[in-house]
Amino acid sequence: RTVYINGEFFPASDARISVFDRGFLFGDSIYEVTAVIDGKMIDNDLHLGRLERSVDQLDIPMPLSRGKIISVQLELITRNKIVEGLVYLQVTRGTEDRSFDYSSALKPNLVAFTQDKPIKGTNAHRAGVKVAIVEDARWARRDIKTTMLLAQVQAKRHAKAVGCDEAWMVQDGFVTEGASSSAFILTRRNYLVTRPNSAAILPGCTRQAVIEVARQLDFDIEERLFTTEEACAAKEAFLTSATSLVTPVIEIAGHSIGAGQPGPVTRRIQDVYFDIARHF
């Protein structure tokens, strides 16, 4: 497997980054994940736009132009023969002696690799997944896609321990989002509800693409807060992310959603988004 670091391609076993890298020492770094289906990247413009925003918010210089980053992604997909999977990008503030403050001239590190992963037609897509509820223990700038992911690691661990596939995180009684996904519910009155973008959640690229799909399909969309109780009582629910596309949710905190199986609105959005994604 080939890994990219700062302008060079290495075999994975030779790909190394310093222990003084600020991503390693402070979580001072951001990342992006783009799904690959049939060798093609899905919603990559949205992901690279968000990457640019993340580094901008943290005052980290962009290591490469957008065009050059795309070339690196494509080169890795080709070299690693990725048909279905993902391309991972990480930009860290750079490497220097450990100190909370950083030199303004510090050069960022850019690391990129690929992973094989089934993206379409998974069991989760067909049968749906179960979701656990956990307190949102993250910092206050969740709109920046940082690699400080310990709260999500713990949330996923808890989900698995209680027989679930994902955790939806809750703040002040309101669902923020999944540990690695955006959360949608369909209300009894057939409104598709998802939390509006703010510092409280990551602006999901798939979330945005799916909202556009739902609008085209003439579904009523409400971007507003919703409680755990409202989620548990929803007619349907689903989650979205780059590598899980649209995945039905059939249980939340032990409550069956709808008939306990993927609902028709979820199926429709899933099919249409998948169709669009496949033709990228």
Residues at the site binding ligand PLP, with contacts judged by CB under 6 A: 177, 180-182, 202, 204-207, 240-242
Which residue number, 96 or 116, has a Cβ lying nearer to ligand PLP?
Answer: 116
How far is it, in rounded angstroms, from Cα 164 to Cα 141? 27
Smallest distance from ligand PLP to CB 119, Å: 12
Which residue number, 128 or 204, has a Cβ lying nearer to ligand PLP?
Answer: 204
Task: Assess contact for 137 and 232: CB atoms under 8 A.
Answer: no
Smallest distance from ligand PLP to CB 49, Å: 11
Q: Output the CA torsion sign for 63, 66, 67, 72.
A: positive
Which residue number, 106 or 276, has a Cβ lying nearer to ligand PLP?
Answer: 276
Q: Is 145 a catalytic residue?
A: yes
Burial of 97 (0-12, 13-18, 19+ CB in 10 A): exposed
Task: Assess contact for 48 and 205: CB atoms under 8 A.
Answer: no
Q: Of the residues 145, 156, 160, 235, which is catalytic?
A: 145
Strand partners, 178: 168, 181
Which residue number, 95 or 202, has a Cβ lying nearer to ligand PLP?
Answer: 202
Alpha helix positions (H), 18-140: 22-26, 44-57, 66-79, 123-127
Query: Comparing C-alpha atoms, which of 118, 112, 113, 48 is closest to residue 83?
Result: 118
Smallest distance from ligand PLP to CB 33, Å: 6
Residues 6+ apart with CB under 8 A from 268: 217
Smallest distance from ligand PLP to CB 71, Å: 22
**What residues are labeled active site?**
145
